[in-house]
Structure 1
């Protein structure tokens, strides 16, 4: 595994930065299932002490991404097609219908903010920067859901997204599919601004389907 580089963001703790970078690599499939990670090796790669790395890996184990192996480290867990399908189905139920509620209600500052995030998603997709892609993608979806005024909905979807694997993401980076999917975010904003609620719901359903299909490496549903 290649060196991760120095962690520099002052807005997050070292543990948060390590966890974020490891999670993005596991979610995207850059670190495959079955690979064993060790605290000393990762601490050296990140250029930090063992403590934040150990804390990050324990958190990832609680999220189901890693499994402790006695005297060896942590193994990246396998995710089944059924589990991916169930997660995407739950997200479909929670994220698609609210688009009809949000349509036609966005003010100009919110629209500008969403378009900026959508541009960041496309830029990250074009350069295969998976950590930036996943962070911006999550920010976009949660920002739209926040427009419903339902904080419980936002937190529930946040938790679901933290469990979702997109193990086909690395393979998509070598094709046009990742950029094509990324462009759907801007399309969704256009539909919401135009008060086309039914079309926005349909687009969100198609977008989430990628999680259980192409993005999982299992093919289209």
Structure 2
């Protein structure tokens, strides 16, 4: 008997993650935790053995990390984990502040208070990850929270640019062992405080929190 096709109009739900996405997630986690060391060159075949996959999804994932500035291509050798200086991180923080501070102030004035409430679970996700000392999970949750904040402005290009800058600043392995869990937790709790200020349309507090957020834990 031939296999039954889907009913008209029905679509099979897509797989949640491709193999390439799974490898990319694993590589990001290894970067954040320091398993992949700054300045070290890693070949796609060696990483493929490590993750028990073929080299193709590894190369695809590493090319994405090249675009994010986390690694760089080394001809005929593989990919070198990027190193960031203190000055690099300060410059990234300055650029992010130049973009995000005025945007957040505009959103504080124009977004209805009730629209901020759906972001509270995302803020809580950062607290949970920080409390567990899970830097990789914190990095993911932090990106999701900041993208959701800026996304309320409706400017997809802004979200993309800010997200790229966020990613470039978010690799603790590239500038030392990374923040202590207590630092991560302190940083994560600022997210809920920021939401309170946005709901209250407290512009001075919003500006202060956003600026201090960038000057604190790297990659927040």
What is the TM-score with the length of structure 2 in the denominator? 0.81
SS of alignment partner, residue 176 of structure 1 = helix
Query: 1:30·1:170 contact (CA, 8 Å) conserved in 2?
Result: no
User: Corresponding residue for 1:31?
Assistant: 36
Per the alignment, in what secondary structure is the counterpart of residue 80 of structure 2? Answer: strand
Pair 100,84 (structure 1): closer, same or farther in 2 beyond 3 Å? same
Deviations 1:112-163 (A, max 9, x none): 3211001110111111222221111111111111222322221210121232
Equivalent runs, 1:12-51 vs 2, <5 Å: 12-27=17-32, 29-51=34-56
Give the aligned partner of residue 87 of structure 1: 92
Matched, 1:203 2:209: yes
CA–CA distance in structure 2, aligned partners of residues 35 and 21 of structure 1: 17
Query: TM-score normalized by structure 1?
Result: 0.80
Q: Distance in 2 between matches of 1:169 and 1:154?
A: 28
| 5+ long unaligned stretches in structure 2 | 1-13
Alpha-carbon offset, residue 107 of structure 1:
4.8
Equivalent position of 1:142 in the other structure: 147
2:161 aligned residue: 156
Cα distance 1:79–1:147, how it changes in 2: closer, same or farther (>3 A)? same
